[in-house]
Homo-oligomer: A and B are copies of this chain.
């Protein structure tokens, strides 16, 4: 919501025309610009240091950021777009956990340990996304030198932990109907669009259930006037 003016300002600054409001990679900013706009809470010296060491990495929608079992090479900060984090089951199946948005970071990639740490989750760019990659061996110094950095790390862990708590709550205490409703509401809140372009199959994947179950529940919600079903999208009435 409050990100849009800023984004527009940056584009204007560069004198670029962006089609349909979507980020095109031509419009990519520099590390410095991303840090200033997305991570304003960092001290200027910290931003300068990060800019010096980070790699700006654009990802196309659908591209994988992180694979289960993959070793971390760097800390990832999300600068633009949206990353979807989900857990994979050993025998197939997946389960959506939460999104990472601009200004947030992947908690698991922030451990400042020597031992190689492998990822327990999958992350994929849901739209065209830009991430800043920071070498892991920088973490220790940042932690020691910059107060805003360790606040950021702690806050990242805390908020991701609490997201997981909410997820657990739903899975344990709620039925599929409530989980579906929460899922749709969540989508609506994030995107701020009444038309959610998503198929029943995609929802079923995210909730780790089958399409038929979702179709039936959606139909029931439609009959209650809580939404309208269309091909390839769902019209949400919050």
Contact = CB atoms under 8 A, between A and B. Distances in A.
Interface string A110-124: 111000000011000
A7 to B, nearest CB: 28
A168 B120 contact: no
A158 interface: yes
Interface residues of A, number: 36
A165 B165 contact: no
Contact of A89 (B97, B108, B164, B169): B169
A162 B87 CA distance: 12
A87 B168 contact: yes
Given A120-B162, A143-B150, A208-B173, A95 B157 contact: no
Given A158-B157, A168-B167, A173 B121 contact: no
A231 to B, nearest CB: 29
A95 B164 CA distance: 14
Interface of A: 87, 89-91, 93, 95, 97, 107-108, 110-112, 120-121, 143-144, 147, 150-151, 153-155, 157-158, 160-162, 164-165, 167-169, 171-173, 208
